[in-house]
Amino acid sequence: MVTRFAPSPTGLLHLGHAASALAGWHAARTAGGRFLLRLEDIDPQRCRPGYAQAILEDLGWLGLDWDGEVRVQSGHLDDYRCVLGNLHRRGLLYECFCSRAAIARETALSVAAPHVSPDHVPLYPGTCRRLDPELRRRRSAAGEPFVLRLDMRSALAGLACTERALLARDADTGRDRQCHPERFGDVVLARRDVPASYHLCVTHDDWLQGVTLVVRGEDLLPATDVHRLLQALMGWTPPAWSHHHLLLDRDGRRLAKRDGAPTLRAMRADGMTAAHVRALAGFP
Ligand code: GLU
């Protein structure tokens, strides 16, 4: 059993993070397995080294320990470039030069109702997928900024027969769930300002680090379908998944950094002990 906690250092940890980290830690330790810590800090606009340091301290204060070195994603950008290169050579990625505004304009012109992906982004209408390859080459050679998108239809069509039914194992029920990555359309795998997307890095690292059980919040359940597809395309053994319920505040809203959920730091400053916080997170 190998589990992990993989926060993005974009803010301080709150009780919801503590619950997630404790769930992964507990699963590994009760099975005599390994618990890993990974900092998903590829987005330089949103991540801060100060938060990364605070995360390590807060987890230590909670009483969590982890095995081996902390993997810091920003130190491994070549790994992600390598995966992107592989998919690109196989014709599964294409450069997309469309701005958000251009996509919104194009979607508005369409007669059909706009489709939205499970993460609430309008589905990409495929404009740059249809670009003439020579024009695409010239635009990128001229330095026009682009994102890299997965050609979803080609990716699904190219899967081997055994992988056609993309299944994700739910560790809590023991059942396999049918994945539908097509609901995301031509998902972005590398951004203009960030060399690789969350989907690509998380899937690569879970495979590289031998993670066998991904424990995380149910808000990330839909993204699992894209992850399962990337695993199939790259021949990476999939882990099982346990998506836990999110902790809610008194008004029934999910705890989130942006809504000012109380941080572990603030709870500690208020005199709460780590044992108290662990109990609140459901792990007395
Ligand atoms: N880094 C992601 C986040 O902080 C979580 C990644 C994952 O657990 O798959 O939201």
Q: Which long-range contacts (CB under 8 A, 24 or more apart) does 170-173 make?
A: 170/240, 170/241, 170/242, 170/243, 171/213, 171/240, 171/241, 171/242, 172/242
Distance 219 CA to ligand 1 centre (A): 10
pLDDT at 181: 97
Q: For residue range 158-185, what is the model confidence (pLDDT) as tens digits?
A: 998 777 789 999 999 999 999 999 999 9
What average pLDDT does the segment 271-278 reach? 96
Q: What DSSP letter does each residue of 5-30 carry, written as one string? A: E---SSS--BHHHHHHHHHHHHHHHH
Q: Is 217 in the pocket of ligand 1 (CB under 6 A)?
A: no
Q: For residue range 107-141, what is the model confidence (pLDDT) as tens digits?
A: 887 767 668 889 888 899 999 999 999 999 999 99
Q: Is 11 in the pocket of ligand 1 (CB under 6 A)?
A: no
pLDDT at 252: 73
* pLDDT(191) > 90: yes
Q: Which CATH class is domain 1-75+247-283?
A: alpha beta
User: Which of 8, 51, 197 to probe ligand 1 with, by most ligand atoms within 8 A of CB?
Assistant: 8
> Percent of the chain scored above 90 by pLDDT?
81
Number of H helices, E strands in the chain: 10, 10
Q: For residue range 28-55, what is the model confidence (pLDDT) as tens digits?
A: 999 999 999 999 999 999 999 999 999 9
Q: Is 197 in the pocket of ligand 1 (CB under 6 A)?
A: no
pLDDT band at 193 (very low <50, low <70, confident <90, very high): confident
Q: Tell me which of 277 and 111 has the higher pLDDT.
A: 277
Q: Is 76-201 CATH 3.90.800.10?
A: yes
Ligand 1 atom showing the smallest separation from residue 216 Cα: 8
Q: Is 8 in the pocket of ligand 1 (CB under 6 A)?
A: yes
pLDDT band at 259 (very low <50, low <70, confident <90, very high): low
* pLDDT(260) > 80: no
Ligand 1 atom showing the smallest separation from residue 223 Cα: 9
The pair of structure tokens assigned to 265 is 């730091």
Nearest CA to ligand 1 atom 2: 7
pLDDT at 105: 87
Annotated domain spans of the chain: 1-75+247-283, 76-201
